[in-house]
């Protein structure tokens, strides 16, 4: 008898040296280091280097890798034209998926799955996905594709281009910390998808396109866009919103997690602190009060805790980032994690080929 575990809950599917979730101590470890710590102490480029190359860069390596990401941010005109040809109302995640797919034939290393070629593709994918995300609004509204400012980091460029100006100084550091918090989270559905695709020895672009498709779903990355709804309300309105939905047995987006069952997601905890500080800086604590109230209410009513997407939605709202770009921003960061998993998978490959417990008819 094969033992069936719905949703593969708790089933180890790979051995990995990339990331683990220490549920007991509520820590996320990336290549031996605490994610919460590196998010506050390093740039996104340094953390991407840690994921792709296996170690934090020294000063020279950091300079070189940051330069490489800046150079690789260029996106071929043909890819710009493909995304511009989509209907204006296309969801940005669909436009991004199409754009990343269209990048593939331009990569000279496309079908080389060696670790060295995969590391080169990883840097290109991180760089170009970020710039595509930053330009999704320009592309879908047929405006000019905006190039990045080479003197600024990757995360700051994305923030500036998505906001289209008006970035205030207080936004830059919290945006980058939150961007890094999204970078890697062990075998999330999108990462597992990317690894399954990589295990057929298909190319890294295909694996990332699959990851993007999985990330869009509201039970995964799409939750941050949906979670923003509640932040339209004041405390009383938010409480009514939650109670009505729970009564109708609907889910409150940004709550619950397959792995963190008995406490707040540690990334959400840090983002909550960033939100509190940011609210103090802008002199308006409504979003913090709403979030804190809903957090307590959900714990009391359902025994559920916020995940990163809940507090990310509040912080992005404070930064006036349009909600439909929340999940693409998540993707622009997570692409570094997916790439690291593709490199690891293809370096020690075993094709994924599980079995199904058959419940259908047997006629003869």
Ligand X SMILES: CC(C)(COP(=O)(O)OP(=O)(O)OC[C@H]1O[C@@H](n2cnc3c(N)ncnc32)[C@H](O)[C@@H]1OP(=O)(O)O)[C@@H](O)C(=O)NCCC(=O)NCCS
Task: Give residues in contact with ligand X (CB under 6 A).
Answer: 219-220, 223, 251-258, 302, 304, 307, 309
Mark whether 49 is an active-site residue.
no
Minimal distance in Å, beta carbon 200 to ligand X?
27
* Three-class SS state of 354: coil
What is the nearest approach in angstroms of ligand X to the Cβ of residue 287?
18
CB 51 within 8 A of CB 30: yes
Burial group, residue 156, by CB count within 10 angstroms (0-12, 13-18, 19+): buried
| Closest CB to ligand X among residues 117, 308 | 308
Instruction: Give the whole-angstrom CA distance, residue 62 versus residue 351.
Output: 34
Contact 148, 332 (CB under 8 A): no
Closest-CA residue to 269 (of 312, 211, 304): 312
Catalytic hit among 112, 220, 285, 292: 220
State which residue, 91 or 245, has the beta carbon closest to ligand X. Answer: 245
Length reported for the chain:
364
**Tokens describing residue 244:** 């009505």
With respect to ligand X, which residue has the nearer C-beta, 27 or 251?
Answer: 251
Catalytic residue of the set 154, 185, 257, 341: 257
Concerning whether 220 is annotated as a catalytic residue, the answer is: yes
Please tell me which residue in 185, 265, 309, 341 is annotated as part of the active site.
Answer: 309
Rounded Cα–Cα distance for residues 212 and 359 (Å): 31
Smallest distance from ligand X to CB 179, Å? 16
Question: Measured from the CB atom, is 132 or 183 closer to ligand X?
Answer: 183
Q: How far is the CB of 14 from ligand X (least distance, A)?
A: 19
Opening angle at CA 360, ends 354 and 364, nearest 5: 115
Q: Which amino acids are annotated catalytic?
A: 220, 257, 309
């Amino acid at each position: 008898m094969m033992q069936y575990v719905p949703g593969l809950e708790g089933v180890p599917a790979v051995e990995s040296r990339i990331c683990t979730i220490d549920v007991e101590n509520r820590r996320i470890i990336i290549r031996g280091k605490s994610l919460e710590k590196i998010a506050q102490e390093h740039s996104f480029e340094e953390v991407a280097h840690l994921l792709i190359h296996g170690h934090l860069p020294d000063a020279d390596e950091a300079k070189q890798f940051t330069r490489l990401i800046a150079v690789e941010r260029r996106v071929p005109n043909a890819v710009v034209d493909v995304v511009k040809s989509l209907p204006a109302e296309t969801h940005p995640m669909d436009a991004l998926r199409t754009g990343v797919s269209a990048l593939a034939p331009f990569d000279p290393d496309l079908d080389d799955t060696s670790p060295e070629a995969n590391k080169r593709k990883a840097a290109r994918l991180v760089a170009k996905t970020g710039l595509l995300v930053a330009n999704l609004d320009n592309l879908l509204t047929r405006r000019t594709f905006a190039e990045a400012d080479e003197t600024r980091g990757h995360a700051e460029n994305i923030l500036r281009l998505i906001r289209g100006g008006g970035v205030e100084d207080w936004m830059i550091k919290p945006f980058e910390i939150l961007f890094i918090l999204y970078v890697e989270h062990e075998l999330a559905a999108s990462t597992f998808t990317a690894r399954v695709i990589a295990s057929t020895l298909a190319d890294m672009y295909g694996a990332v396109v699959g990851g993007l498709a999985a990330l869009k779903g509201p039970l995964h990355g799409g939750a941050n866009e949906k979670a923003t709804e509640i932040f339209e309300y004041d405390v009383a309105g938010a409480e009514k919103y939650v109670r009505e939905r729970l009564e109708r047995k609907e889910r409150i987006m940004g709550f619950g997690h397959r792995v963190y069952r008995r406490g707040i997601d540690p990334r959400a905890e840090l983002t909550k602190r960033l939100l509190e500080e940011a609210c103090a800086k802008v002199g308006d604590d409504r979003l913090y009060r709403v979030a804190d109230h809903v957090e307590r209410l959900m714990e009391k009513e359902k025994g559920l805790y916020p995940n990163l997407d809940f507090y990310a939605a509040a912080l992005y709202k404070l930064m006036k980032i349009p909600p439909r770009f929340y999940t693409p921003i998540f993707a622009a960061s997570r692409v570094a994690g997916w790439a690291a998993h593709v490199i690891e998978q293809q370096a020690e490959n075993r094709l994924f080929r599980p079995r199904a417990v058959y419940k259908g008819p047997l006629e003869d």
